[in-house]
Amino acid sequence: MVSVQSVINVIGQLGDGTQSTRDLPVQTALPANFRARSICVGIYHSIAIDESGAVYGWGNNTFYQIGLPNALYLIPTAITTTATVGTFLPNVSVVQVTCGNYHTVALTRYVFSKI
């Protein structure tokens, strides 16, 4: 017998566009062509990277753990590294992410280019 626990989703951590508690698994509202490279989950937020290196975050962002302006994100929202990192590292490519309770750490690959 499989035991299924309800998932409390009051701050959108499931990424299904709702804040409803769920008794069964639901599909996260990622883009149709999304192919996961890396996914991590914190207590109230999640981050995913696809094979092309695109980064998406959803859930609670009170402590800016998603890397976007402070808000509640009920569906996966694209995170641009240029908005977060700025011009200091203009060619940053996120390779992997890991989530803690209230933070996210991204491993990046800096791409050097000739000037």
Share the mean pLDDT of the chain: 81
Average pLDDT over residues 9-37: 87
58 pLDDT band, cuts 50/70/90, is very high
Tell me the residue range of the domain where 17 lies.
1-115
Number of domains in the chain: 1
What's the per-residue H, E or C state across 32-91? CCCCEEEEEECCCEEEEEECCCCEEEEEECCCCCCCCCCCEEEEEEEECHHHHHHHHCCC
pTM of the model: 0.80
